[in-house]
Amino acid sequence: MPRHGTMIPDTGAGRRRLMVGVKMSANPPDAGFFAAYTVKELAQGLRDGTFTAAELVREALASIDRLNPVLNAFVLVDREGAARAAAQADADFKAGTDRGPMQGIPVAVKDNIDTAGLVTTVGSAHFKTHVPKEDAECVRLLKEAGAIVIGKTLTHEFAYGPTADRSLQGAAKNPWDPSRMSGGSSGGSAVAVASGMVPLALGTDTGGSVRIPAALCGLTGFKPSYAAISASGVFPLSTTLDHVGILARSAEDAAALFPLLRDPAPQPKHKKARTSTLLTGWIPTGSFGASDTAVVTEVRQFAEALFGQAMRDVAQVAALTEVFASAIAAIQSAEAYEVHAERVAAHPELFDPEVLERLQSAGMVKGWEYVRALKQRKQLQATLAVFFERFDLLAMPTIGIVAPPLQERTLTLEGQEAPVARTLLTMTRPWNVVGLPAITIPAGQVDGLPVGLQLIAPMGWDAWLLDVAATLQARDLA
């Protein structure tokens, strides 16, 4: 297979794409300080005197000041609070107190996650002056571990959309091409990390809202098992489907943070992450709707290079597409409308028109449809559990397209028009229905824009999945 810069024409359309395994820059054209460091390197530097926490905060603020006016990742920057937290982290180091790998590390937090004393707008005019009195549980744990909350990142209004261009604060812009979407709803968090403003960020994922922007921005995006990270203090979209997740430059970086946030319940015993012998089920994408052939081909070849003959097609999972789609549509719609019914009735003018239209449509879901969808969810969980008796992992593209232009709402794919929102969501949302851990890792580029490979593991195998993904990434870079 051609490597190290070999370019070939894509069949049919005259497009040129980067071959699987080609060494390419992991950073967008203009990136900030943290694009050059892993979390492990930052943590070591804080301990050997290469950096101080105060210096890392200054670097974060300088990167934000330079890049955020163009990319619109941050909607609030807590300069004074970050400076105080950095001073405390440095004082703790000097006193010999070490709280672990996140001490002194700047982290961004999505604007639907409560932060005590900081405005949390959820991307909406309804909450433009809302200041929570308490931190969300995940933020409390971040601070307890010594991490520094540098600020709040843009979310699609009420996290109800995969494009991150419908928000009180505008649109988060893709650092690879600011004329294109970041993906959402955790778009600001993805842009903040991909552009090197911060090394890590928290997001939320109800139908793909961590993995979609991670894939479009060239990051690792991790959605753990349902409730593995507490959603207490997170503004709900759909409580049955909501997950708190992590956006990072690598699975290794995400793995540095996840143990500090996860529920302390005992974890299952894990197999060793020997990727050469992992039996991996590749899910064909045809039943998931129209996609870009170049993207699917790029990701498939990337997966083949990683897993070799241990990867087999599993068309049976793809056959469940309609049930997945039906279940998530009813559950998310019914639960989202329950959250917003009074606001829709009293102050519809405060919503973004597109979000309002979605909510009004969501209100049409009938009670029996919601109850049926919850039953379907349980059936799907049982079905997937059977698949994992045979396979270690399931794999597929994270998204079947590259980042669309900002504000675009339809694309032409395979000769047919496809709605942008549905196309972004179709391959990620099944794993919210069943609550399984899923991760996207960078899988090359098409037309100079990132694409992602999505890996799905059995329920509760979160740490193992991160270990597998980190092993795969290390091998790809070797």
- Listed in sequence order, the DSSP H helices in 34-78 are 39-48, 53-71
Instruction: Tell me what percent of the residues of the chain surpass a pLDDT of 70.
Output: 92
Q: Is the pLDDT of residue 142 over 90?
A: yes
- Listed in sequence order, the DSSP H helices in 166-233 are 187-194, 211-217
209 touches 203 (CB < 8 A):
yes
* Cβ-Cβ contacts under 8 Å for 356 (sequence gap 6 or more): 344, 348
Q: Is the pLDDT of residue 16 over 90?
A: no
Of the listed ranges 10-14, 163-167, 190-194, 195-199, the least confidently predicted one is: 10-14
322 falls in which pLDDT band (50, 70, 90)? very high
- Listed in sequence order, the DSSP H helices in 290-320 are 293-307, 315-318
- The pLDDT value recorded for residue 414 is 85
pLDDT tens digits, 371-414: 999 999 999 999 999 999 999 999 999 999 999 999 999 999 98
- The pLDDT value recorded for residue 270 is 58
Looking at residues 302-307, what average pLDDT do you find? 96
435 touches 207 (CB < 8 A):
no
Q: Is the pLDDT of residue 265 over 80?
A: no
CATH of 16-477, one of 3.30.390.30, 3.90.1300.10, 3.40.50.300, 3.90.420.10: 3.90.1300.10
269 falls in which pLDDT band (50, 70, 90)? low
5 C-beta neighbours (distance < 10 Å), count: 10
- The pLDDT value recorded for residue 88 is 98
Q: Is 347 exposed, middle or buried (0-12, 13-18, 19+ CB in 10 A)?
A: exposed
Of the listed ranges 7-21, 23-37, 357-371, 373-387, the least confidently predicted one is: 7-21
Looking at residues 303-323, what average pLDDT do you find? 94
Looking at residues 331-335, what average pLDDT do you find? 98
124 touches 159 (CB < 8 A):
no
* Cβ-Cβ contacts under 8 Å for 200 (sequence gap 6 or more): 39, 105, 107, 108, 193, 246, 247, 248, 253, 254, 256, 257
Among candidates 222, 193, 200, which has minimal Cα distance to 145?
Answer: 200
CA distance 24 to 4: 8
163 touches 178 (CB < 8 A):
no
Active site residues: 110, 185, 209
- The pLDDT value recorded for residue 266 is 61
Q: Is the pLDDT of residue 190 over 50?
A: yes
- The pLDDT value recorded for residue 271 is 56
For residue 98, give both structure tokens: 């070490």
Of the listed ranges 174-183, 308-317, 394-403, the least confidently predicted one is: 308-317
45 falls in which pLDDT band (50, 70, 90)? very high
- The pLDDT value recorded for residue 2 is 25
Q: Which residues of 321-344 are buried (b: 16+ CB within 10 A; e: fewer)?
A: bebbbebbbbbbbbbbbebbeebb
Cα torsion through 149, 233, 433, 204, rounded to 10:
-20
Of the listed ranges 20-24, 229-233, 309-313, 459-463, the least confidently predicted one is: 20-24
Of the listed ranges 119-133, 256-270, 334-348, 427-441, the least confidently predicted one is: 256-270
Amino acid at the residue 403 = A
For residue 300, give both structure tokens: 């498939």
- The pLDDT value recorded for residue 439 is 98
Distance from the first to the final alpha carbon of the chain: 16
- The pLDDT value recorded for residue 438 is 98
